[in-house]
Homo-oligomer: A and B are copies of this chain.
Amino acid sequence: MIRVGLVGIGAQTKENILPSLLQIPDIQIVAACDMSLERAEEVKSYVRDVQVFKDVATMIDCMGPDALVLACPPQAHRDISLLAIERGIHVFVEKPPCFTLHELKDMIDAAARKRVVTAVGLNFRFARPIQHLRKIASSEKFGQPVHVQINHYAGKPRAPMWGLTSTLRSFLLAQTIHSIDLTTAFGKDHVTDVRSNVQHGSDAMLARIDISFSSGRSASILTGSMFPYFEFDMKVVSDKSNMITLDNLWNITLHDAEIASQVVGGDKRWRNAWQPGPLDSGYVRSGYFGELTGFFNAIRSGTRFEADFESMIPTFQVIEQVCATEIQPGIVAPPALRVMGEQQRSVARG
């Protein structure tokens, strides 16, 4: 039985984290902590014998949890992680884990010294259709991924969050972090080059990010707050002329040059398509269950978790590069200015 302290009882905890935790066997939520005790009390409707706290340090002292699960602003993720790690407590934080690559490295160092398991809530990576897609993309038959394209549409944030001054960094940390992370999930290679282009409207923005990896493969992301609502699609192209696409985490289509002959004797344009069962539901589908289960399994087995702090280095490298090219928001920048704002940077490693 892993004893868990829950920190930050807001919408994300109530809608996704807590419901997922309740379905994971052999863990026990022993404490809930929020600056508002009233919010913390809400956990009692779901968990018996839970203790509530306003202060994390007190909670740790009183309850001695094995692990913390946090859904807070990034500064709290960073500070509370460091506090917990120092005391040898395993930590799962919602994304984003912190603001900068520099902060992330400090957190990684701390965790390495104390040998605790860390995790970042990158549920997309664990979402069922993406697990399917990754499995296929890693098969011999599919071939080597050459390019990943992700379209990540959002309608917000359109203003800085968490005390930041940059809407762009806020947007990347709140939204695009998922997509950047996914582009890194199709190879063991490292980021060698990042190019980006950000267009600003009156308040919304549109960003394109191109990433090159050491293996020669590439990725491009179209994202921004200039869309009516959140949607998401991605595709992976292989060197064997196969392409697999995922539309809104629902439909997968495998465009495969060899399918045709298997179906009706050689007609072109046949492809394989998959979609979940009509009743597909629960928190496996959205990845919340998988990420938390993976975290607890890593604690039990004493191994690293796939989506730990360290795994986020490439993602933060990309975020830093994109932010380094930021220009002032306003109406759409005149071309001359924008071209100057674009930069190509090599990612120093090691």
Chain A residues within CB distance 8 Å of chain B: 15-16, 19, 22-23, 25-26, 28, 42, 45-46, 48-49, 123, 127, 132, 135-136, 139, 146-147, 149, 151, 153, 155, 192-193, 195, 197, 199, 201-202, 204, 206, 208, 210, 212-218, 220, 222, 224, 226-232, 235, 237, 239, 241-243, 248-250, 253-257, 259, 262-264, 267-283, 285-286, 288, 332-335, 338-339, 342, 344, 346
Contacts and interface: CB of A to CB of B under 8 A. Distances in A.
A348 to B, nearest CB: 14
23 contacts: A19-B22, A19-B23, A22-B23, A147-B199, A147-B222, A149-B151, A197-B212, A199-B217, A206-B237, A226-B237, A227-B243, A228-B243, A228-B255, A248-B278, A249-B278, A249-B279, A250-B278, A262-B262, A271-B274, A272-B273, A280-B286, A339-B346, A344-B344
Contact of A259 (B212, B213, B272): B272
B270 A214 contact: no
A275 B281 contact: no
Contacts of A48: 28, 48-49
A335 B216 contact: yes
Nearest to A19: B23
B274 A193 contact: no
Contacts of A192: 335, 339
A26 to B, nearest CB: 5
B270 A263 contact: no
Given A25-B46, A197-B218, A274-B267, A19 B206 contact: no
Number of copies: 4
A195 B248 CA distance: 29
Given A23-B22, A193-B339, A206-B146, A230 B155 contact: no
Contacts of A249: 278-279
B273 A273 contact: yes
